[in-house]
Chains A and B, each alone.
Chain A
Amino acid sequence: MGLTNRPERRVVEYDPRSQEGWVATRLDFLVNWGRANSLWPMPFGTACCAIEFMATAASRFDLARFGMERMSFSPRQADVLICAGRVPFKLAPVIRRIWQQMAQPKWAISMGACASSGGMFDNYAVVQGIDTIIPVDVYVPGCPPRPEGLMYGIMMLQEKVKRERMNDSALRNEMEPDPRSQLYIPAPTINELSEPFGNSVHQTRSGL
């Protein structure tokens, strides 16, 4: 299945020179295994990707085998925010608020081209990638991504979760936005991330 060979099941590696003891590494393994296999998604579904997300949760591409069939529409009880669909500027404060309401540990999957980069909507109304608003862990390209694609993205997130370590104290830090501007990455970075692909070097204000 898929274009490339599936990566072999690697035993997660622990550095023998680190100071982690046997108990800490076993605990890491257990905690990460528990988290990865029961991620409760918060479907922030806006547009077409939400329909493909629903199709992924339905019978043919069942998400229940990943432990994700319990959709949590309340952010307080959710683990992973799956932003499925385009996010216009009017919706930006809503997704920021929802991300802030989610309790740690939390991850975010940006599903689809529009959530990852603005997609085909390079205009006045659409946020050019939700990573300008919230920190994203996995980007799933596609317009919309096939259910298999979304599942591959979810599996990538599971691998990421399994590589976490308890002694990494910075892992669960909440990114705080600048209190005046509410941006959490600097403005020039946002402008650079939102640049149109192709010939334009600057933000040309009209035309293709």
Chain B
Amino acid sequence: MATQKRTVDVALATTGVDAQGRPQRVPLVTADDGSSVAVEAPPAVEPELAEEHMLINIGPQHPATHGVLRLVLELDGETVVRCIPHVGYLHCGFEKIGEYRQYNQIVPWTDREDYLNSIGNNCAFALGAERLFGVDITPRCTVLRVIAMELSRIISHLVWLGTTCIDIGAFTPFLWSFQRREQVYDLLESWVGARLTTSATRVGGMAADIPDGWIDGLRSFVRSFPSTIDEVDRMLTKNAIWVGRTVGLGVMTPEEAVNYGLSGPMVRASGVAYDVRKDFPYLDYETYDFDVPVGTNGDVYDRYLVRMEEMRQSVRILEQAANRLPDGPVNVDDPRLILPPKSKATSEMESMIHHFKLVMEGPRPPIGEAYVAIESPKGEKGYYMVSDGTSKPVRWRIRPPSFVNLSAISKMVEGHLLSDVIAINASIDIVMGEIDR
């Protein structure tokens, strides 16, 4: 980045943890002297003119609602007095159908709920199922899943970037971000065979190991990607239009953010440094050296800065993961979980029986329940599964970060103008597939 206006303090120990062992936080600064950019608050409503309120309806089919979201706004002129969001227009019965599928058969459904973070959801679900089964995955699988989740974070943030820019009026970053996404799609396609809906994990491992030369492709992507973030940064971060349209909008104080259950960049932009990777780690994230950007104003501009910085941090994690990828098997060596290779299944009796049981009935976990949460690009994504000893879960609950984040929209848009509603909605980074499930 050429300008020195935006400083990010990166004075850290190599493990991302300070001398007392607490994870370090990185405060984002929005101007060179450390103060935030000043913007006037929206003008107060004139009481004597506000006689009639207008009720308008945005959605469910609307280009700027990021899916089938319906917002009913009570407007006083151009100012929003009240906002009532309606969701459920994409409710497809995921949780019900999960009760009729074996654990490995549920993996394709996890792709489709948060479809921007498909492979990240696959990994999250596999972590939850493996906790329920009491299985520890191999070191190679651990690192591969970290790579998958960080790639997923990057492509999700790129969609957020492209669509938010379109909503606010800048069309070009959409094309840049989708071009970068195509490069990641190429990588994912060569690994698991699909671009978007990957279904890459299985209980106890992955569907497939990475092909030869895949890590080189990853490294070349990682080398070239930061230039895109720099370009968008140059274009938007100090742009008067962008700053004027995003600073001071949709502010959530830290106490409110925690009380409303916000997570991910929403809560971090409000000054609460809660990141599931640091606070309740999984997949050895505590051994990677990365920072967590935290904002201090809780507005749309800070959420933008947090997500941009998160993409840079994901690049750092990917570099480290690519360097430390160990050799070895990618699946655990448990015949009750992992399908035997076809050559054995057709020649050995025991393998044939395992194959039959795994395909017809599916692996059966012990009776119990587990809630495993990960840091998805949207926030705290959790899978809560209850098992009664059969191969299909009794209850498969998805804790959707966007659902909880969106519930705060009525609070965030009050008092703002109609065009700000679109900007605030874009900053929440919602995925209707996850909200409605």
Contacts and interface: CB of A to CB of B under 8 A. Distances in A.
Establish whether A and B are touching in the complex (CB under 8 Å).
yes
Contacts of A120: 108-109, 112
Contacts of B112: 47-48, 120
B68 interface: yes
Given A55-B182, A91-B68, A48 B92 contact: no
Nearest to A208: B100
Contacts of A85: 90
B115 A48 contact: yes
B279 to A, nearest CB: 30
Nearest to B189: A146
A86 to B, nearest CB: 6
Contacts of B60: 91, 94
A125 interface: yes
Given A59-B178, A88-B89, A90-B91, A46 B97 contact: no
A144 B88 contact: no
Nearest to B178: A58
A19 to B, nearest CB: 43
B115 A47 contact: yes
A94 B89 contact: yes
Interface in B84-131: 88-93, 96-97, 100, 108-109, 111-112, 115-116, 118
B62 interface: yes
A133 to B, nearest CB: 14
A121 B90 contact: no
A121 B195 CA distance: 20
A105 to B, nearest CB: 21
Contacts of A59: 175, 178-179, 182
Nearest to A147: B195
Q: Which of B108, B111, B115, B174 has the most CB of A within 10 A?
A: B115
Interface residues of B, number: 36
A88 B324 CA distance: 44
A44 B116 contact: no
Given A51-B116, A58-B179, A60-B179, A73 B62 contact: yes
Interface string A116-160: 000011011110000000000000000110100000000000000
Interface in A31-51: 44-48, 50-51
B62 A58 contact: no
Interface residues of A, number: 35
A60 B61 CA distance: 26
Contact of B196 (A51, A94, A206): A51
Contact of B63 (A60, A71, A88, A206): A71
A191 B432 CA distance: 28
A79 interface: no
Nearest to A62: B175
Contact of A60 (B100, B109, B174, B182): B182
A144 B197 contact: yes
A51 B90 contact: no
Contact of A51 (B63, B159, B179): B159
A146 B182 CA distance: 12
Contact of A46 (B68, B174, B195): B68
A98 interface: yes
A73 B179 CA distance: 23
A170 B436 CA distance: 40
A47 B433 contact: yes
Given A46-B90, A71-B63, A94-B89, 5 more contacts: A51-B115, A55-B185, A88-B90, A123-B92, A146-B195
17 contacts: A46-B90, A48-B115, A48-B196, A48-B197, A58-B175, A58-B178, A60-B178, A73-B61, A73-B63, A85-B90, A88-B88, A90-B88, A94-B68, A121-B93, A125-B93, A125-B96, A206-B100
